[in-house]
Amino acid sequence: MAGGDESMAVTSNLFDCTLKIIARNHADLFLRLAFPDLEIELRGTPENVELALPVQPVDFVHRALYAGDEYLMHVEFQLDHFADFPRRLCACHGALTQQYKIPVFSYTLYLRYRAAPIPNEYIVRLGRRIVNRFTYPVLKLWDYVEEISSGKYRELAPFLVMLVEQPDEQILQRERELILAEPDAHKQADLLALAVAIAGRNFDNEFLRFVFRKELEQMQGATLLDEWIEERVQQQVAAQVAAQVAKASEQAREQGLQQGLQQGLQQGLQQGKLEQQRETILHTLRLRFALSSEQFESVAERLAEVTEHTKLGTLFDIALRAYTWGEFQTALDQTATSESTPR
């Protein structure tokens, strides 16, 4: 994957993870966004939704009750629009209806500004004649900037920084004020971590550390640390293994030996796992301690000196639980030094 494509994938995954965490913690928000004039009661959230049809996994579903009847709310989150999205949404809607045997209302929420109209229907035509039409509401997050900033939809505060033309310290402080109004400590920690992660696309880590200095410790228990890192880890492992397998194949061709392929493959898998562990530690540290670019590069160099899975696993545990950045540094220095010391 090219560098630009990888950056886009990371951005998309960050926003996808962010919205899923917000949806889980504040499910009622997405009812209020789509149906502000209706009193709809939330019911239990179906867990582990797997569709029988070969369509992509659904982003979020939630049972709802209106006028005594049960429904399924289905929301898809889109950073940008893709041409095949209407078809995929139609397939998901049909599969959910068949699987749960109750009426399903589906809509999509777009995050990034788009001047061109966004399609809200899937149409099947015979020539010029429309035979079938599936329509769905389209919500655009940038239409809600004032309502988010006013506190009406304060749960979406982490997105303010990407919805304004020129994000500055004032908008970050407003995000912080809105998030601190959340009474649930765990949900507040999640929102703070999400806000810092998204703002990191526009602001230096040192600046973010200053703005959120009073809340850094609180963010340590945020859900984002587990879920976003896990997703990034899976991507890193796949990329590392693919690269090393390709390299091993080339070596085998040049040497004309099957042994070269097997050896290279084993080395690739081993190196991929090590790189995956290092990436996990780095992302954990960056989110927990808002590392500066210099600190990030320094710890990356030190982690490269650690070549044992067990030691990297121990460092990951310390990265999650250390109370201070200095505590992790000490553990890393001791580990890296022990590897470089002759036995």
Q: Measuring CA to CA, which residue among 28, 41, 273, 253 is closest to residue 152?
A: 28
* Number of domains making up the chain: 3
* DSSP 8-class letter at 137: -
CB 192 within 8 A of CB 222: yes
Instruction: Encode pLDDT of 3-24 as tens digits.
Output: 344 444 445 566 777 777 888 8
The torsion angle over the Cα atoms of residues 325, 329, 335 and 340, rounded to 10 degrees, is 160
Is the per-residue pLDDT at 96 higher than 70? Answer: yes
Instruction: Tell which of 220, 247, 265 closes a domain.
Output: 220
**Is residue 265 in a domain?**
yes
One domain for residues 61 and 15: yes
Is the per-residue pLDDT at 158 higher than 90? Answer: yes
Residue 200's pLDDT band, with cuts at 50, 70 and 90, is confident
One domain for residues 134 and 11: yes
| Long-range Cβ contacts of 322-326 (<8 Å, 24+ apart) | 323/217, 325/285, 325/289, 325/291, 325/295
CB 155 within 8 A of CB 22: yes
Which residue range forms the structural domain that includes residue 120?
Answer: 3-143
One domain for residues 127 and 188: no
Measured in whole angstroms, how far is the alpha carbon of residue 233 from the centre of its chain?
12
One domain for residues 92 and 207: no
One domain for residues 157 and 115: no
Instruction: Encode pLDDT of 109-129 as tens digits.
Output: 999 899 999 999 999 999 999
Residue 49 parent element (H or E)? none
One domain for residues 104 and 75: yes
**Is residue 88 in a domain?**
yes
Instruction: Tell which of 179, 196, 220 closes a domain.
Output: 220
Q: Compute φ and ψ for 216, nearest 5 degrees.
A: -60, -45
Residue 206's pLDDT band, with cuts at 50, 70 and 90, is confident
Average pLDDT on 40-63 reads: 68
**Is residue 148 in a domain?**
no
One domain for residues 195 and 244: no
Q: Mean pLDDT: which of 7-16, 44-53, 157-166, 331-340 is highest?
A: 157-166
Is the per-residue pLDDT at 300 higher than 50? Answer: yes
Three-class secondary structure of residue 81 per DSSP: coil
One domain for residues 139 and 12: yes
Distance CA 315, CA 312 (A): 5
Q: Measuring CA to CA, which residue among 149, 187, 147 is closest to residue 21?
A: 187
Is the per-residue pLDDT at 183 higher than 80? Answer: yes
Is the per-residue pLDDT at 175 higher than 90? Answer: yes
Instruction: Tell which of 194, 220, 246 closes a domain.
Output: 220
Q: Measuring CA to CA, which residue among 143, 135, 100, 101 is closest to residue 119?
A: 135
